[in-house]
Structure 1
Amino acid sequence: MTDTRSAGILLFRRTSDNGAEVLIGHMGGPFFARKDEGAWSIPKGEYEPAEEDAQAAARREFTEELGLPVPDGDWVPLGDVQYGSGSRRKTVTVWAVEADLDPSRMVPGTFEMEWPPRSGRMAEFPEIDRADWFDLTTATTKLGKGQRPYLERLAAHLRGD
């Protein structure tokens, strides 16, 4: 069984109606180009625990994916979530940071993959092709299922639970 580790940062900001919005990114690349529901993600990425701690990895991945530094603010631990099936499982550790950020300033990192499949040609795609702020209800439908517990945990934190 393969167990990979990822770490990320969920930015949030409070709204005038005592609610909150979170900043999430739409996954880049051809597989997600025409998808919306379940095709967004918390800025996060893999790391090797023997080489880097989770908080440093979360900071690095946020900057790599959005091309912007993590805004100043207190880091609220939202804990771990495990997802995946069969021989491939992933454990994701996320912190929430209360801050505002203009997603139009994003300069996403990129990745390469063979595209079209079996063509022998490599193409470059943004890791996140766009980012935006969503209320928690909307974000629940946009995030992949494995990351949705973080929204519940953030809501509990904001209620003082």
Structure 2
Amino acid sequence: MATTSAGLLPFRRLPDGGVEVLLGHMGGPFWARKDAGSWSLLKGELEPGEEPHAAAVREAAEELGLELPPSSGPDLELGEVRQRAGKVVHAWAREWPEPGPDLSAISSNTVEIEWPPRSGKRLEIPEIDRVAWFAPDDARRVVVSAQAAFVDRLVEALAD
């Protein structure tokens, strides 16, 4: 059975009318030197019985290691996508008001992995090792391919 994750796509409006989205770069040695396809929404798996939107907000706060801004209205539902490996991801977007998060204060939660694979050695790594703001075109280039749909859906919703 495919796993289900939920995530949040923080965004900010720019003075010129544009928008940027906040993505996290996946942590650990496998992703260390990769750029394209190695960035993601702030997301994670649902706890048993957890409502997807609540999971999205919880996971974003855990991966950033800081409190999210309160929503100025309901978070914007971006639907779901199925990633190549079969994982289903549900997403919402939330506007991050100025001045935005202090990106140097980001402190992701950690996860334990086996590294190198099949070595029996365990390594504790941050789920995300850094975050950055991206214009939509740049976000589509670096984000996990299926998640580019969330960027498109956000841009369409903000244009309406």
Alpha-carbon distance in structure 2 between the residues aligned to 1:14 and 1:34: 30
* Cross-structure match for 2:124: 124
Within a 5 Å distance, the mapping from 1:94-113 to structure 2 comes to 94-99=91-96, 100-113=100-113
- SS of the aligned residue for 1:113 comes to strand
Letter in 2 for 1:135: A
* Cross-structure match for 1:53: 51
Structure 2 unpaired stretches of 5+ = none
CA-CA distance at 1:109 after TM superposition = 0.6
Normalised to the residue count of structure 1, the TM-score between the two structures is 0.91
Deviations 1:118-139 (A, max 9, x none): 3322111110000011111111
Structure 1 unpaired stretches of 5+ = none
Normalised to the residue count of structure 2, the TM-score between the two structures is 0.91
One of 88, 91, 99 as aligned partner of 1:91:
88
Alpha-carbon distance in structure 2 between the residues aligned to 1:26 and 1:144: 10
CA-CA distance at 1:101 after TM superposition = 1.9
Deviations 1:31-52 (A, max 9, x none): 100101111000001114x510
CA-CA distance at 1:115 after TM superposition = 1.7
CA-CA distance at 1:117 after TM superposition = 2.9
Size of the aligned set, in residue pairs, is 155
Percent identity for Structure 1 against Structure 2: 48
Within a 5 Å distance, the mapping from 1:7-156 to structure 2 comes to 7-48=6-47, 50-73=48-71, 74=73, 75-85=75-85, 89-99=86-96, 100-156=100-156
Greater shift, 105-114 or 118-127, is seen at 118-127
Higher strand share: 1
Alpha-carbon distance in structure 1 between the residues aligned to 2:66 and 2:31: 23
